[in-house]
Amino acid sequence: MKFGTPHPVISLAPCTTEQVKRTATTLQILAGTYMLQSNRANFNQHGTDPSCLLCKSGPENREHMIARCEATEHIRDVHRRKLLDILYKHCDQAPLLQETIQNPSLFTAIVLDCTNPALTHIAPFPCDAIREIIAFCQQLTHSLSAERHTQLQRLAPRIQKKRKLRQRVQKATRKPSTPVSNPHA
Ligand SMILES: [Zn+2]
Protein backbone atom coordinates (compact mmCIF):
# COMPACT_ATOMS: atom_id res chain seq x y z
CA MET A 1 0.00 0.00 0.00
CA LYS A 2 1.37 3.45 -0.93
CA PHE A 3 1.60 6.25 1.62
CA GLY A 4 -1.32 8.68 1.26
CA THR A 5 -3.65 6.18 -0.42
CA PRO A 6 -6.66 4.78 1.51
CA HIS A 7 -6.29 1.24 2.88
CA PRO A 8 -7.92 -1.34 0.53
CA VAL A 9 -10.16 -2.41 3.43
CA ILE A 10 -11.79 1.04 3.06
CA SER A 11 -11.35 1.84 -0.61
CA LEU A 12 -12.54 -1.52 -1.95
CA ALA A 13 -15.45 -2.11 0.44
CA PRO A 14 -18.94 -1.54 -1.04
CA CYS A 15 -20.51 1.76 0.08
CA THR A 16 -23.92 0.70 1.45
CA THR A 17 -24.86 1.88 4.97
CA GLU A 18 -24.77 -1.67 6.28
CA GLN A 19 -21.34 -2.23 4.75
CA VAL A 20 -19.96 0.95 6.37
CA LYS A 21 -20.87 -0.49 9.80
CA ARG A 22 -19.12 -3.74 8.92
CA THR A 23 -16.04 -1.89 7.69
CA ALA A 24 -15.96 0.08 10.96
CA THR A 25 -15.81 -3.14 13.02
CA THR A 26 -12.90 -4.45 10.93
CA LEU A 27 -11.04 -1.13 11.16
CA GLN A 28 -11.45 -1.00 14.95
CA ILE A 29 -9.96 -4.48 15.24
CA LEU A 30 -7.09 -3.60 12.87
CA ALA A 31 -6.39 -0.38 14.77
CA GLY A 32 -6.49 -2.13 18.17
CA THR A 33 -9.37 0.04 19.42
CA TYR A 34 -11.93 -2.80 19.53
CA MET A 35 -12.07 -3.64 23.24
CA LEU A 36 -11.06 -7.26 23.65
CA GLN A 37 -10.23 -8.81 27.00
CA SER A 38 -6.46 -8.75 26.35
CA ASN A 39 -6.60 -4.99 25.54
CA ARG A 40 -8.53 -4.48 28.76
CA ALA A 41 -5.87 -6.44 30.67
CA ASN A 42 -3.11 -4.31 29.08
CA PHE A 43 -4.75 -1.05 30.09
CA ASN A 44 -6.33 -1.98 33.40
CA GLN A 45 -4.13 -1.39 36.39
CA HIS A 46 -6.08 -3.80 38.63
CA GLY A 47 -4.84 -6.94 36.87
CA THR A 48 -7.77 -7.87 34.62
CA ASP A 49 -7.67 -11.49 33.42
CA PRO A 50 -6.99 -11.48 29.63
CA SER A 51 -8.86 -14.81 29.16
CA CYS A 52 -11.86 -14.87 26.86
CA LEU A 53 -14.98 -14.46 28.98
CA LEU A 54 -17.00 -16.65 26.63
CA CYS A 55 -14.93 -19.82 26.13
CA LYS A 56 -12.04 -19.32 28.61
CA SER A 57 -9.75 -21.29 26.27
CA GLY A 58 -7.06 -18.59 26.00
CA PRO A 59 -6.34 -14.88 26.00
CA GLU A 60 -8.94 -12.98 24.01
CA ASN A 61 -6.86 -11.20 21.39
CA ARG A 62 -7.56 -10.42 17.74
CA GLU A 63 -6.68 -13.94 16.55
CA HIS A 64 -8.79 -15.51 19.27
CA MET A 65 -11.83 -13.49 18.30
CA ILE A 66 -11.51 -14.07 14.55
CA ALA A 67 -10.13 -17.62 14.37
CA ARG A 68 -10.19 -19.45 17.69
CA CYS A 69 -13.07 -18.62 20.02
CA GLU A 70 -15.05 -21.81 20.61
CA ALA A 71 -18.16 -19.90 21.66
CA THR A 72 -18.59 -18.40 18.18
CA GLU A 73 -17.38 -21.39 16.14
CA HIS A 74 -20.90 -22.00 14.73
CA ILE A 75 -20.74 -18.59 12.96
CA ARG A 76 -17.13 -19.08 11.78
CA ASP A 77 -17.72 -22.59 10.51
CA VAL A 78 -20.44 -21.62 8.01
CA HIS A 79 -18.47 -18.59 6.79
CA ARG A 80 -15.19 -20.53 6.52
CA ARG A 81 -16.69 -22.90 3.96
CA LYS A 82 -18.22 -20.04 1.94
CA LEU A 83 -14.92 -18.12 2.06
CA LEU A 84 -13.10 -21.14 0.72
CA ASP A 85 -15.54 -21.28 -2.22
CA ILE A 86 -14.89 -17.61 -3.00
CA LEU A 87 -11.12 -18.12 -2.81
CA TYR A 88 -11.27 -21.18 -5.08
CA LYS A 89 -12.92 -19.03 -7.75
CA HIS A 90 -9.94 -16.67 -7.83
CA CYS A 91 -6.98 -18.85 -6.92
CA ASP A 92 -6.09 -22.27 -8.29
CA GLN A 93 -3.73 -23.27 -5.46
CA ALA A 94 -6.25 -25.48 -3.64
CA PRO A 95 -3.90 -27.14 -1.09
CA LEU A 96 -2.46 -23.75 -0.11
CA LEU A 97 -5.94 -22.31 0.34
CA GLN A 98 -7.00 -25.21 2.58
CA GLU A 99 -3.85 -24.70 4.66
CA THR A 100 -4.44 -20.95 4.91
CA ILE A 101 -8.03 -21.36 6.04
CA GLN A 102 -7.09 -23.92 8.72
CA ASN A 103 -4.17 -21.87 10.11
CA PRO A 104 -5.50 -19.42 12.78
CA SER A 105 -2.90 -16.69 12.06
CA LEU A 106 -3.37 -16.82 8.30
CA PHE A 107 -7.15 -17.09 8.62
CA THR A 108 -7.11 -13.96 10.80
CA ALA A 109 -4.88 -12.19 8.27
CA ILE A 110 -7.15 -12.99 5.35
CA VAL A 111 -10.35 -12.09 7.22
CA LEU A 112 -9.06 -8.72 8.41
CA ASP A 113 -7.08 -7.73 5.32
CA CYS A 114 -6.68 -10.01 2.31
CA THR A 115 -3.99 -7.68 0.91
CA ASN A 116 -1.77 -8.51 3.91
CA PRO A 117 1.82 -9.30 2.78
CA ALA A 118 1.68 -12.44 5.00
CA LEU A 119 -0.59 -13.92 2.30
CA THR A 120 1.80 -13.55 -0.62
CA HIS A 121 1.85 -17.35 -1.06
CA ILE A 122 -1.74 -17.23 -2.33
CA ALA A 123 -2.10 -13.52 -3.26
CA PRO A 124 -2.13 -11.10 -4.99
CA PHE A 125 -5.74 -11.59 -5.89
CA PRO A 126 -7.22 -9.69 -8.84
CA CYS A 127 -9.04 -6.48 -7.89
CA ASP A 128 -12.54 -7.96 -8.32
CA ALA A 129 -11.58 -10.85 -6.07
CA ILE A 130 -10.25 -8.51 -3.38
CA ARG A 131 -13.53 -6.58 -3.42
CA GLU A 132 -15.56 -9.78 -3.03
CA ILE A 133 -13.28 -11.21 -0.30
CA ILE A 134 -13.26 -7.95 1.67
CA ALA A 135 -17.06 -7.63 1.58
CA PHE A 136 -17.52 -11.23 2.67
CA CYS A 137 -14.85 -11.13 5.41
CA GLN A 138 -16.21 -7.89 6.85
CA GLN A 139 -19.60 -9.55 7.05
CA LEU A 140 -18.00 -12.47 8.93
CA THR A 141 -16.17 -10.12 11.33
CA HIS A 142 -19.36 -8.19 11.99
CA SER A 143 -21.32 -11.41 12.64
CA LEU A 144 -18.63 -12.65 15.06
CA SER A 145 -18.69 -9.29 16.83
CA ALA A 146 -22.51 -9.30 17.08
CA GLU A 147 -22.59 -12.87 18.43
CA ARG A 148 -19.81 -12.06 20.94
CA HIS A 149 -21.78 -9.00 22.07
CA THR A 150 -25.01 -11.00 22.50
CA GLN A 151 -23.25 -13.70 24.55
CA LEU A 152 -21.46 -11.10 26.70
CA GLN A 153 -24.78 -9.33 27.40
CA ARG A 154 -26.18 -12.65 28.60
CA LEU A 155 -23.18 -13.14 30.90
CA ALA A 156 -23.09 -9.52 32.09
CA PRO A 157 -24.72 -9.97 35.55
CA ARG A 158 -22.33 -12.84 36.40
CA ILE A 159 -19.27 -10.92 35.10
CA GLN A 160 -20.30 -7.84 37.11
CA LYS A 161 -20.66 -9.91 40.28
CA LYS A 162 -17.19 -11.47 39.81
CA ARG A 163 -15.63 -8.05 39.08
CA LYS A 164 -17.11 -6.55 42.27
CA LEU A 165 -15.87 -9.51 44.31
CA ARG A 166 -12.37 -9.17 42.83
CA GLN A 167 -12.33 -5.42 43.56
CA ARG A 168 -13.37 -6.09 47.18
CA VAL A 169 -10.56 -8.65 47.58
CA GLN A 170 -8.02 -6.27 46.01
CA LYS A 171 -9.17 -3.43 48.27
CA ALA A 172 -8.88 -5.66 51.34
CA THR A 173 -5.36 -6.85 50.43
CA ARG A 174 -4.22 -3.26 49.86
CA LYS A 175 -5.17 -2.18 53.45
CA PRO A 176 -2.05 -1.29 55.46
CA SER A 177 -1.43 -3.82 58.25
CA THR A 178 -1.63 -2.67 61.89
CA PRO A 179 1.87 -1.90 63.16
CA VAL A 180 3.10 -4.47 65.70
CA SER A 181 3.90 -2.83 69.04
CA ASN A 182 7.39 -3.35 70.43
CA PRO A 183 7.16 -5.28 73.74
CA HIS A 184 10.60 -3.93 74.78
CA ALA A 185 9.66 -0.28 74.32
ZN1 LIG B 1 -13.30 -17.40 23.35
* Spacing, Cα 90 to ligand 1 middle (Å): 31
* Spacing, Cα 96 to ligand 1 middle (Å): 27
Measure the CA–CA gap between 134 and 13, rounded to whole angstroms: 6
* Spacing, Cα 57 to ligand 1 middle (Å): 6
Q: Measured in whole angstroms, how far is the alpha carbon of residue 173 from the centre of its chain? A: 34
Beta-carbon contacts of residue 118 (< 8 Å; ≥ 6 apart): 105, 106, 109
pLDDT tens per residue across all 185 residues of the chain: 555 666 776 666 666 777 778 888 999 999 999 999 998 888 875 678 899 999 999 999 999 999 999 999 999 999 999 999 999 888 877 788 888 899 999 999 999 998 888 888 787 788 888 889 999 999 999 999 999 999 999 998 887 787 788 778 877 877 665 555 555 54
Domain ranges across the chain? 28-156
* Spacing, Cα 66 to ligand 1 middle (Å): 10
Predicted local confidence at residue 185, as pLDDT:
47
Please give the span between the terminal C-alpha atoms of the chain, in angstroms, as a whole number. 75
* Spacing, Cα 142 to ligand 1 middle (Å): 16
Predicted TM-score (pTM) of this structure: 0.78
* Spacing, Cα 185 to ligand 1 middle (Å): 58
Contact 135, 14 (CB under 8 A): yes
* Spacing, Cα 144 to ligand 1 middle (Å): 11
Nearest to 82 by CA among 132, 128, 144, 150: 132
Measure the CA–CA gap between 124 and 122, rounded to whole angstroms: 7
Residue 43 amino acid letter: F
